[in-house]
Structure 1
Amino acid sequence: MQTILIPTSFQLKSFDCISTISRQFKGQEISILFTHMFKLSDSISDLLMLSRRVKEYEYVSEDFYRECHELKLNCAEVKSVGIEFFYGGTLAAFKNFLETHEVDFILDPVSCNCTPLNKSSIDPSVLINRANLPILELQKISHQENFSEKKELEEVN
């Protein structure tokens, strides 16, 4: 199974790339990990409470959770969908995060709709470009492929 990290700000637009990703990994099982990155606070009390953080989950709407559930049901390639937050600012911490979550590919931040959630959000491209993992670029779908897909869907309905 291939695990793909998708930088996100948990907007429903984050799901726009999934159909292209599933086409690129057709016939393979994939795991999607939606992730937002935050710098670590300098406050000792914030650091002590880091393991109990739930504040950030308020940024994830019920519609986003519902869409994650629908994705697992409706996309044959997608076997799991996760939501995680990365806290840190160093490459070493980010590489540990990637290793812990067994990430194989990272979606190119240019293809994502990742905007800051608050003042602690960091630009994901800074660490992603230095992580030494393959950066997944979305392949453009040709007009003919798009027409064929629509025709297949019409035939199924």
Structure 2
Amino acid sequence: MKAIRTLLIPTDLDPAMLGCITVLAKRLYPQKIEVILVHLMKLTDNPTDLEKLSRRSAEYQKISSGFYDACALLKQANPDSIHDIRIEFFYGSTVAVFRDYLQTNDVDDIVMLNHYAYRKLNKNSISPELMVQRLGMKVMTIDHEPDLPGRVKKILEALAAANA
């Protein structure tokens, strides 16, 4: 068994979806997890958009400070089970390129949330369900509990207050 299990979780950068990380950390303990939160985007053919893509800053500006803070607090609250949480953007629309991305990042499992409606950040966002389905790989699923983010938020707020 690997010391650290790498999980790829598609995200729309909504903090409401972060509750699954705590559930996964508990489910997979004592194995530590590394979480890659990824938003999938197709490459554009617009020259202006391609120029922006080379800087890759426009998408990262869409990540709220609250989302970053919640990720940091989740890691801090679970030091024995969460090794790292990364936020990334995948640029491409083919299964072959996505498979290479998974291999490059040594992803062990893809995690999809049941009953979760992923929203698009912009016109270039790709449905994670469609891309993952096209991969033909086994996927770990976890129920998205609408009330779970509220409980996680309370825990995160308590941790932030304790660290203030």
**What is the number of residues matched between the two proteins?**
141
TM-score (norm 2): 0.77
Q: Tell me the distance in 2 between the aligned counterparts of 1:122 and 1:114.
A: 10
Query: 1:120 maps to what in 2?
Result: 124
Q: Tell me the distance in 2 between the aligned counterparts of 1:2 and 1:113.
A: 26
Q: Report the AA paired with residue 19 of structure 2.
A: D
Q: Report the AA paired with residue 29 of structure 1.
A: K
| Residue deviations 1:9-64 (CA, integer Å, cap 9, x gap) | 11111211122211220100100111101111012443355331100011100011
Q: 2:42 matched to 1:35?
A: no
TM-score (norm 1): 0.80
Superposed displacement of residue 138, structure 1: 2.0
Report if aligned partners of 1:111, 1:138 keep a CA contact under 8 Å in 2: no
Query: 1:101 maps to what in 2?
Result: 105
Aligned identity (percent) is: 34
Q: Tell me the distance in 1 between the aligned counterparts of 2:95 and 2:116.
A: 21
Map of 1:78-93 to 2, 5 A cutoff? 78-93=82-97
Superposed displacement of residue 132, structure 1: 4.4
Give the RMSD, CA atoms, in angstroms.
2.1
Query: 2:20 maps to what in 1?
Result: 17
Q: 2:9 matched to 1:2?
A: no
Query: 2:49 maps to what in 1?
Result: 46
Change (3 A) 1:24 1:134: farther
SS in 1 for 2:19: helix
Query: Which consecutive residues of structure 1, in runs of 5 or more, have no partner in the other structure?
Result: 141-157
Superposed displacement of residue 130, structure 1: 2.9
Q: Which moved more, 1:29-38 or 1:14-23?
A: 14-23
